[in-house]
Amino acid sequence: MAGAGVKLLNKRIRSVKSTQQITKAMKMVAAAKLARSQSNMLAARPYSRKLTELMTQLAGKTDIDDPLFEVRPVARRLFVVLASDKGLCGSYNMNVLKLAHKAVDTSIAEGAETEIYAIGKKVNEFFGKRGYNIFAKHVDFGGEASSEQGNLVGNTIVEAFTDGTFDEVRVIYSSFVSTMTQRPLDVAMLPIAPEQAAPDEEEDDRAIDYIWEPSQEEMFSVLLPLYLRNRVFMTLAEAFTSEHAARMTSMAAATENANELISALTMQRNRERQAAITSELLDIVGGANAL
């Protein structure tokens, strides 16, 4: 009986060690992807901030007459939901999908026709199984943000908004805060709401009055498409960086848990083996005394 127990424990230890090798490899792959994705995201942030600053200045000084700024009564709403194509990333997908599910149900309860733009297999499967309307989907991005993907998503939502298919477009994704923290967000993408927070007089006096060449209106029309595409790209970059961070953290925890389980099983195996040896010694001693 003891021999069978030791054999079973050895089998379990080998099985856990094999799993640990997999989780360790996945952790290293996720760490490499995180480093690349985070580097690209951080490199793009200064450009994004400056572009937003220029757009804010222009929006406050020009008469905006662009369909992307048109505020309409919301009869139809589109939610762009970003999650991963694969699992094994802890609570990352569930946190995003939980927020998206609540937002979509609230929109439907308000009487708006609501559809889902699914980016990631997990989003498509989650809402598809529950019978929600899927407007479009991308299940092949593979956790990599690129300008081509940003243009593809941006052009799709712009066309859907400008042709009147939807009156509002919102994006639900996970914002990257740190390697250990990712925060699900629900933000409005279209119509664009210019930041018109009025500065106080003292700040206004110190504001730099740029000389624009060409005119402010022409600059605005050129920068607006760039601004929107950049917003979409940065959203994808934040979401995918969060995914890699969550997966790396999850796999690191799984590797550590496997190590603890191996230690516990090894100790239990040693006890079983020691008990078997003690029992055999007692049998030998008892037999010798009987003779």
Q: What is the pLDDT of residues 63-74, one digit of tens each?
A: 667 788 888 899
pTM (two decimals): 0.82
Asked whether the predicted pLDDT for residue 201 surpasses 70, the reply is: no
Cα angle for residues 69, 79, 41 (degrees, 5° grid)? 80
Tens-digit pLDDT profile for residues 104-135: 999 999 999 999 999 999 999 999 999 999 99
What is the share, in percent, of the chain residues with pLDDT greater than 90? 49
Spell out the domains of the chain, with CATH numbers in brackets. Answer: 64-195+209-247 (3.40.1380.10)
**Side-by-side strand order, sheet with 168-176:** 134-138, 113-119, 76-82, 168-176, 182-190
Q: What are the beta bridge partners of residue 125? A: none
Q: In this predicted model, which residue has the larger pLDDT, 64 or 211? A: 211
Which of the residues are catalytic?
Answer: 89
What confidence score (pLDDT) does residue 210 get?
A: 66
Nearest to 241 by CA among 50, 40, 17: 40
Q: In this predicted structure, which of 98-102, 163-167, 269-273, 276-280 has the lowest mean pLDDT?
A: 276-280
Using CB atoms within 10 Å of the CB of residue 107, give its burial: 0 to 12 exposed, 13 to 18 middle, 19+ buried: buried
What is d(CA 80, CA 64) in angstroms, rounded to the nearest whole number?
Answer: 25
Query: Mean pLDDT, to the nearest integer, of 182-195?
Result: 84
Tens-digit pLDDT profile for residues 39-52: 988 888 888 888 88
What confidence score (pLDDT) does residue 29 get?
A: 92
The tokens for 125 are: 């499967």
Q: Which residues contact residue 247 at a Cβ distance below 8 angstroms, ignoring those fewer than 6 apart?
A: 26, 30, 84, 88, 89, 90, 92
* Count of alpha carbons within 13 angstroms of residue 137, beta-carbon side: 19
Asked whether the predicted pLDDT for residue 248 surpasses 90, the reply is: yes
Highest average pLDDT, of 102-106, 139-143, 219-223, 275-279, comes from 102-106
Q: Which residues contact residue 38 at a Cβ distance below 8 angstroms, ignoring those fewer than 6 apart?
A: 176, 241, 244, 245
Using CB atoms within 10 Å of the CB of residue 18, give its burial: 0 to 12 exposed, 13 to 18 middle, 19+ buried: exposed
Nearest to 32 by CA among 259, 251, 188, 276: 251
What confidence score (pLDDT) does residue 198 get?
A: 37
What is d(CA 58, CA 74) in angstroms, rounded to the nearest whole number?
Answer: 27
Tens-digit pLDDT profile for residues 85-112: 988 888 899 999 999 999 999 999 999 9
| Helix (H/G/I), strand (E/B), else coil: 71 | coil
Give residue 281's region: left, alpha or beta (phi > 0; psi -120 to 50).
alpha
